[in-house]
A and B are shown apart, each in its own frame.
Chain A
Amino acid sequence: GAVVSQHPSWVICKSGTSVKIECRSLDFQATTMFWYRQFPKQSLMLMATSNEGSKATYEQGVEKDKFLINHASLTLSTLTVTSAHPEDSSFYICSARDYPTYGYTFGSGTRLTVV
């Protein structure tokens, strides 16, 4: 079945630094990828939707300049958290929409801790 690989699985960084999270579709082409943020014991909140080769569409309240999303190929999307602060600490999950079945496959998530 479709597999999405997300790396790193966890990262600790200092305040003010940037962190890049990668999301790769291993055996299918992902025309659309989604990035979610999840706080402890809460549901997944959609941050942005990215389509290959075009700019990401951000949800209301998500800072475009802080959460940079790049979807340069049909198999790779990246989320860069710039100038990270402790309040950015969270669990980030990506999802890829499979082409041509249009099913959704999720990465295993990245636990970001900013100290």
Chain B
Amino acid sequence: TQLLEQSPQFLSIQEGENLTVYCNSSSVFSSLQWYRQEPGEGPVLLVTVVTGGEVKKLKRLTFQFGDARKDSSLHITAAQPGDTGLYLCAATSGTYKYIFGTGTRLKVLA
């Protein structure tokens, strides 16, 4: 059973469009991370959210942690081809397991 479900799985949009990626779970997490991964490389941390309802911004990326700390969203404004990649949410399950969401593959067309 995948604890972190992401939607959509795939997204292909034109440059300049906005998009939102969701990460949902039935579990409560003390914190949640978002990563972006390029092919053949390890994931790169974008942000960590800790407090329920927290909103963090990283340039054109806006991250929100759900009030109940069970879900999170990533919103990209005016997407650019450089935003293309695999976006992953991740969190600690139980006392020690660090697990990843199912992933969202984004392709931004010029």
Which chain A residues have a beta carbon within 8 Å of chain B's beta carbons? Answer: 6, 32, 34, 36, 41-46, 49, 57, 91, 93, 95, 97, 104, 106-109, 111
Contact = CB atoms under 8 A, between A and B. Distances in A.
B33 A41 contact: no
Given A44-B88, A97-B98, A109 B41 contact: yes
Interface in B12-44: 33, 40-44
Contacts of A44: 43, 88, 100
Given A49-B96, A49-B97, A104-B98, A42 B103 contact: yes
Contact of A43 (B33, B42, B101): B101
> What does DSSP make chain B's interface, helix, strand, loop or mixed?
strand
Interface of A is mostly: strand
B75 interface: no
Given A43-B88, A46-B98, A104-B98, A111 B40 contact: yes
B98 A108 contact: no
A41 B42 contact: no
Contacts of B96: 32, 49, 57
